[in-house]
Amino acid sequence: MSYTSDQWRSAVFKLLKLTSKQEINWSPSTIFQGDAWTLVDRSFQATFQDKTYVVSATRTKYFIDEEEWIWSGGFDLSIFEKVSGSYERITSSPEISLVSNLFSAAEASYAFKRGALSGLIDD
């Protein structure tokens, strides 16, 4: 048995809601690692109910032929549990558009928390 796309969308929406209410805090992360085909540009992590959620901006290499390839941007949401002092990935979400919204919200939340525009705007 596996989760449906509707369940994944509902879960991502819940993370967006928790972010907007500042009930979870996002910070830069290196937990999610790419592979030979995927580069991780930037990741943020937040913990909620003993799970660590990592949302990442990625680039995936797609081969056109044996020698040529292109990079395609995307987003990944992976869920981790801490086991014996290290993180173990439980799962990753399917490709759904809400994950890009979550990445933007996590990045904006982190920037706001760090006062990225302090001194530049009137409070």
Tell me whether residue 102 is in a domain.
Answer: yes
Tell me whether residue 121 is in a domain.
Answer: no
Tell me whether residue 123 is in a domain.
Answer: no
* Number of domain units in the chain: 1
Q: What is the pLDDT of residues 6-37, one digit of tens each?
A: 999 999 999 999 999 999 999 999 999 988 88
Tell me the pTM.
Answer: 0.90
* Token pair belonging to 12: 């991502």
Taking Cα atoms as reference points, which of 37, 94, 88, 36 lies closest to residue 61?
37
Residues of the domain holding 47: 5-113
* Token pair belonging to 27: 């910070």
Q: What is the pLDDT of residues 52-98, one digit of tens each?
A: 999 999 999 888 888 898 999 999 999 999 999 899 999 999 999 99
Check: CB of residue 46 under 8 Å from CB of residue 106: yes
Tell me whether residue 81 is in a domain.
Answer: yes
Question: Which long-range CB contacts under 8 A does 73-76 form with residues at least 24 apart?
Answer: 75/99, 75/100, 75/102, 75/103, 76/32, 76/40
